[in-house]
């Protein structure tokens, strides 16, 4: 059963501690189009928000930066109010930013702020930045202008912003790449005791890419594709599809993107910026792999190599095609994979899985599948699947519950990450009992060192 223990905490205040009202004279904004990756707000396993400070940094397009608007602090204000009904209440964050000019440049603001989905950063009087705008809901921005009245009147351009969010204008202490350089906000502790780790200008630990911001990124030309090492220095490699997984190594890596036609996804880079992984399922086509070169402060986006994916022939071993030699299609024989079990709601879960792109078989429901090396990707299959999760423990021993991404036809689910040897990972799925729903253990993955052999205790 899920842990529904209370998240409530005491809220103290020291007598006489000053709480300075208002906002500072410069705000920043950017179009959501220019944001490649958002920082995250902390949640527990039940999806409940447990902190108000973003963790990580905004990753922007190579040529993008935060723009600023100078405002009149005495006439500007940031407020937040609850909206909606229980149990779906959210916060409506409202920003009123008054700019003193009504000239041509101020008037042009209406052209690029109205009808655009933006994010704003507002600095409070303690130096902490607050975010107005989220990746879940659209931001509404409107511009009004007043040329004043009479000799005693005042002119102004007023920017009104309304943005729904999970909490009142979350804190952000990560990197802010602007036209004038890079800055960051004051570090703010989350409600759960953790602290955000945004990096100061030129710092060595807190950029949106981590690592030393002055050290150029380096990428090794030996790339692991579907579990096999390939040299990509020639600019192009060819494989028989589907393309399921990619693994990269290097140092101070910034970002890697995999583009299939109009679809583009980003590889997951580990915290030390020395390895990255991507997982998916691309049957055929020409795949473009791009990366960010240079430093975190001045990244340059560039093409790296292409992968020519040829579709597997019908009945081949790759990918468990219907009627193929592996017999791995849904409902196939037990010798070729078959169904582990059928849940009460009609969902089926197949015996075979892909770990790091390699096709393996789980011995039974609740059984153990050992692998050697790091665990970077999992793909499972079935029919009408939903709510597949991975339970593991991080370096501090804290339990983490990560959801799989379910395909639109609910026949496959994928997870990607980077779990080191000497860890156990537990794949869980719902039992399908709508009267008393609960997660059950599907199978366990034991992650071993290279060359190590799994020995069952039984």
182-229 pLDDT, tens digit per residue, is 676 665 545 444 444 433 333 333 333 344 456 788 999 999 998 888
Whether residue 377 sits in one domain with residue 415: yes
**10 in any annotated domain:** no
Same domain, 248 and 112: no
Range scoring the smallest mean pLDDT among 38-52, 123-137, 245-259, 306-320: 306-320
Residues 382-432 have pLDDT tens digits of 888 888 999 887 767 777 888 999 888 888 889 988 888 877 888 888 877
CA neighbours within 13 Å on the CB side: how many for 129? 24
Total Cβ atoms within 10 A of residue 278: 21
CA angle at 275 for the pair 421 and 380, rounded to the nearest 5°:
60
Residues 305 and 336 in one domain: no
How do residues 405-419 score in pLDDT, each as one tens digit?
Answer: 988 888 888 998 888
- The pLDDT, as a whole number, for residue 338 is 62
Higher pLDDT, 179 or 206: 179
Full strand arrangement of the beta sheet holding 423-430: 367-372, 439-448, 423-430, 389-393, 399-403
* pTM given for the model: 0.45
Whether residues 66 and 168 fall in one domain: yes
What integer pLDDT is reported at residue 219 of this predicted model? 92
Give the per-residue pLDDT at 318: 39
CA 33 and chain centroid, separation: 15
Q: Where are the beta strands (DSSP E) in 330-388?
A: 339-342, 348-355, 358-361, 367-372, 375-383
Q: Are residues 83 and 38 located together in one domain of the fold?
A: yes
Residue 5 lies in a domain: no
CB atoms within 10 A of CB 44: 15
Kindly state whether residue 159 falls inside one of the protein's structural domains. yes
Q: Are residues 329 and 434 in the same domain?
A: yes
**Rounded distance, CA 55 to CA 41, Å?**
6
177 and 238 both lie in a single domain: no
Range of the domain at 383: 318-448
């Amino acid at each position: 059963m899920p842990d529904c223990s209370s998240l409530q905490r005491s809220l103290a205040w020291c007598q006489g501690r000053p709480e300075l009202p208002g906002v500072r004279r410069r705000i920043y904004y950017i179009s959501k189009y220019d944001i490649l990756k958002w920082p995250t707000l902390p949640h527990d396993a039940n999806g409940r928000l447990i902190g108000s400070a973003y963790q990580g940094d905004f990753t922007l397009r190579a040529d993008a930066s935060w723009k600023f608007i100078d405002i009149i602090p005495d006439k500007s204000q940031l407020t937040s109010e609850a909206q909606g009904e229980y149990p779906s209440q959210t916060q409506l964050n409202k920003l009123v930013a008054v700019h003193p000019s009504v000239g041509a440049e101020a008037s042009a603001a209406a052209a690029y702020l109205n009808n655009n989905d933006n994010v704003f950063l507002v600095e409070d009087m303690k130096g902490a930045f607050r975010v107005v705008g989220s990746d879940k809901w659209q931001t509404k921005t409107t511009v009004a202008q007043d040329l004043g009245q009479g000799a005693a009147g005042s002119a102004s351009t007023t920017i009104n912003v309304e943005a729904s969010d999970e909490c009142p204008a979350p804190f952000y202490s990560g990197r802010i790449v602007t036209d004038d350089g890079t800055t960051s906000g004051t570090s703010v502790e989350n409600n759960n005791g953790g602290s955000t780790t945004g990096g100061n200008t030129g710092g060595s630990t807190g950029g949106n890419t981590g690592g030393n911001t002055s050290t150029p990124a380096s990428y090794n030309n030996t790339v692991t594709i579907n579990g096999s090492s390939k040299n990509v220095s020639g600019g192009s490699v060819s494989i028989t599809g589907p393309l399921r997984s990619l693994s990269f190594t290097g140092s101070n890596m910034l970002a890697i993107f995999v583009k299939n036609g109009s679809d583009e996804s980003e590889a997951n880079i580990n915290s030390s910026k020395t390895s990255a992984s991507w997982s998916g399922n691309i049957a055929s086509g020409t795949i473009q792999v791009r990366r960010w070169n240079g430093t975190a402060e001045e990244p340059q986006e560039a093409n790296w190599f292409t992968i020519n994916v040829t579709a597997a022939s019908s009945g081949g071993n790759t990918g468990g095609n219907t009627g193929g030699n592996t017999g791995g299609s849904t409902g196939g024989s037990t010798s070729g994979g078959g169904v582990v079990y059928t849940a009460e709601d009609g969902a089926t879960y197949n015996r075979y899985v892909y770990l790091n792109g390699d096709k393996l078989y789980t011995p039974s429901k609740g059984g153990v599948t050992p692998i050697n090396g790091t665990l970077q990707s999992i793909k499972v299959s079935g029919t009408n699947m939903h709510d597949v999760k991975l339970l593991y423990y991080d370096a501090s021993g804290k339990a983490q519950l990560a959801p799989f991404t379910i395909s639109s036809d609910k026949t496959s689910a994928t997870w990607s990450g980077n779990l080191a040897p000497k860890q156990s990972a537990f794949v869980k799925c719902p039992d399908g009992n709508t009267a008393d729903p609960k997660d059950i253990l599907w199978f366990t993955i034991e992650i071993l060192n290279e060359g190590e052999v799994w020995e069952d205790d039984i």
